[in-house]
Chains A and B, each alone.
Chain A
Amino acid sequence: MRWNLHEPCKRLYNRTFVQGEIVGYIGPNGAGKSTTIKCLTGILVPTAGDVRIGGFVPWKDRKLHVKRIGVVFGQRSQMQWDLPLIDSLEFMKDVYNIPKEIFKGNLEELTSTLGLKSFLNTPVRQLSLGQRMRGDLAASLLHSPEVLFLDEPTIGLDIVAKEELRHLSDLEALCQRIIVIDHGHVMFDGAIDQFNASYGGPRVLIVRLKDLSPVHLEGVDSVIQDGNQVRISLWSETDLPELMAQIMNSYPVADFALEEPSLEDSVRRIYQSLSKEV
């Protein structure tokens, strides 16, 4: 889940968010993610605690609050199943009472940005999952919300479909900040790079040799050689340029490649270490 904020001052678990922030919210099942999003959107009334989005309390000022947010659920579409996409989008005009001109402008912009033109007139039941997601995204942005919540937006999409959504990019590229939670506690709150550095697995240097000379190195985590491909796991302290120079001096190198720890990897590790503790 990630959200996109254009409002100053919002605290979560004593967190504050500022305008323009894009925050990713990560947690395993049962950690409280859906409860959180329900409180933030005003569906759920919490037993204790306070939330303010742009000065509004979501569950108290529901109608006012809901006009200023957009929500996309990855698993459920809000489109009218049997009708063309355009009908559902135009319905949003009536739902949110959007002035005609603004609606027209937003619709045009979203149609071009999200590439909806080719299937605007297709009944929603005939759309692919990726197309439906884009439609849902458009529907939740037509009323110019100030905060956008995306709940598991890429779930169920295969690689090809994810390509379709490349406008959104994936979590790593887009979110500047991530918050990792576990059962109501914040485990991490900061930039992705930092997260990977703190919790991530090692970086891996992949070397392709011109021949099959065995490779021995020191000052690295591990060396796995398979024919002329060598995978070298680095420690965080390892000086990469120095290492590369050392390798090039000692071995006939065809090329190098560097694998950064992926966010998925880091997340998996952090939860694995959690379950070990328990």
Chain B
Amino acid sequence: MWKNISGNAKIGLSLFLMYRMQVVMVVFDEGINFLVPICLWFGLYRGNPGLIVNGMNLQDLFTYTFLTLILDVISRTELTWILRRGIRSGDLAIEFLCPCPVPVSLISSDVGIVMVEIPSLLFIVLIATPFLRPVAPASVWSFVGFIFSAIMAMILKRIIAILLGTIAFWTLEGGGLIMSASLIIDVLSGGLLPLAFYPHAFRDVLSVLPFQGLVNLPIEIYLGKVQGNQMWLSLLGQGVWTLVFVGIAALVWRTATKRFVVQGG
């Protein structure tokens, strides 16, 4: 009997240690994601806390960082690497049993994985919120618009992730390509710096690209920088882009699977 007790105690202890480690990792991981940008904003606004740059004051920036964090967490996906590994090892054969235009089963299993992000979400709610003290949405409609936009961001992010994963069909060097692409998308979506900071010419180009829908647009809607008709128009644009990308993904998937099946192995 004693053996039983001590055995269970040992299991409990190692679970606790593992759990504690997980907590540390989450804190560290998410912590960097909001602490470092804050250090940057503080540093930049140090001279004048009341400074407004292209409509963004320090409080706006904090909220921006907060919302970036949330959008990042719900858009997180392992699809790129799962797809990539599956293609490289040939395990992806299972996907072809389904006569779908895109790897639907992969996507559906991925959505369930949002549950895994619960520790991160907890962290955001418990620690980041009091720290960052984000402002409330500019209005009820702003909040509604934000929700719509965020949902589309979630979908679009995953479609892009799939597209990046299919690079593995064509090249071995994919790893580096994917990382660079991720960084570029990060910049273009407003994930690195709010797009408000970028020169006008650049912003004009970005406004016709889909990437701002991933981060910058939802947040600007939330903050009330984009309101009323302009907001609905932007949401429509975001929706169109999302559909376009679904189409591109289907096309790419079909071309790739043809080549994949030919390669065999």
Report yes or no: B264 in contact with A82, Cβ–Cβ below 8 A: no
Closest-CB distance, B243 to chain A (whole angstroms): 36
A82 to B265, CA, bound (A): 11
Mask, B157-185, CB within 8 Å of A = 1, is 00000000000000010000000000000
Q: Decide: A125 and B172 in contact? CB cutoff 8 A.
A: no
The answer to whether A256 has its CB under 8 Å from any CB of chain B is: no
Shortest beta-carbon distance, B2 to chain A, in Å? 18
**A125 CB contacts on chain B under 8 angstroms:** 88-90, 265
User: A126 at the A/B interface (Cβ < 8 Å)?
Assistant: yes
- In the bound complex, CA of A126 to CA of B264 (Å): 7
Q: Hey, which chain A residues are within 8 Å of B88, CB to CB?
A: 81, 125
Residues of A contacting B172 in the complex (Cβ-Cβ under 8 angstroms):
82
Bound-state Cα–Cα, A169 to B188, Å: 61
Give the complex CA separation of A123 and B263 in angstroms: 11
- Alpha-carbon distance A151/B90, docked complex (angstroms): 24
B 248-264 binary contact with A (CB < 8 Å = 1; else 0): 00000000000000001
B interface residues, how many (CB within 8 angstroms): 6
CB of B81 to closest CB in A, whole Å: 16
For A81, the chain B residues whose CB sits under 8 A away are 88-89
- Which residues of the other chain, B, contact A82 by a CB distance below 8 angstroms? 172
- Considering the complex, which residues of chain A in the window 122-150 have a beta carbon less than 8 Å from any beta carbon of chain B? 123, 125-127
Nearest residue in A to B263 (C-beta to C-beta)?
Answer: A126
Q: Mark A71-91, 1 if CB is under 8 A from B, else 0.
A: 000000000011000000000
CB distance from A123 to the nearest CB of B (A): 8
**Which residues of A are found within 8 Å of B90, using beta-carbon distances?**
125
The interface bits of chain A over 98-137 (1 if a CB of B lies within 8 angstroms of the residue's CB, else 0) are 0000000000000000000000000101110000000000
User: Which residues of the other chain, A, contact B264 by a CB distance below 8 angstroms?
Assistant: 126
Cβ-closest chain A residue relative to B265: A126
Produce 1/0 per residue, B89-132, CB < 8 A to A.
11000000000000000000000000000000000000000000
Give the distance to chain B from A259, nearest Cβ to Cβ, in Å: 39
Query: How long is the Cα–Cα vector from A82 to B172 in the complex, in angstroms?
Result: 9
With both chains docked as a complex, state the minimum distance between the C-beta of B248 and any C-beta of chain A, in angstroms.
27
Q: How far is the CA of A81 from the CA of B265 in the complex (A)?
A: 11
- B89 proximity list for chain A (CB < 8 A): 81, 125
Q: Tell me, in angstroms, the Cα distance from A82 to B264 when the chains sit together.
A: 13
Q: Cβ of B265: which chain A residues have Cβ within 8 Å of it?
A: 123, 125-127
Tell me how far the C-beta of A113 lies from the nearest C-beta in chain B, rounded to whole angstroms.
Answer: 25
State in angstroms the CA–CA spacing of A215 and B172 once bound together. 69
> Chain A residue with minimal CB distance to B264?
A126
A127 to B88 CA separation, bound complex (whole angstroms): 13
Residue of B nearest to A122 (CB): B265
- Nearest neighbor of A125 in chain B, beta-carbon distance: B265
Task: Report 11 cross-chain contacts, Cβ distance below 8 Å, ordered by A residue.
Answer: A81-B88, A81-B89, A82-B172, A123-B265, A125-B88, A125-B89, A125-B90, A125-B265, A126-B264, A126-B265, A127-B265
Known A81-B88, A125-B89; further 9 A-B contacts with Cβ < 8 A: A81-B89, A82-B172, A123-B265, A125-B88, A125-B90, A125-B265, A126-B264, A126-B265, A127-B265
The 3 closest A-B pairs by CB, nearest first: A126-B265, A125-B265, A82-B172
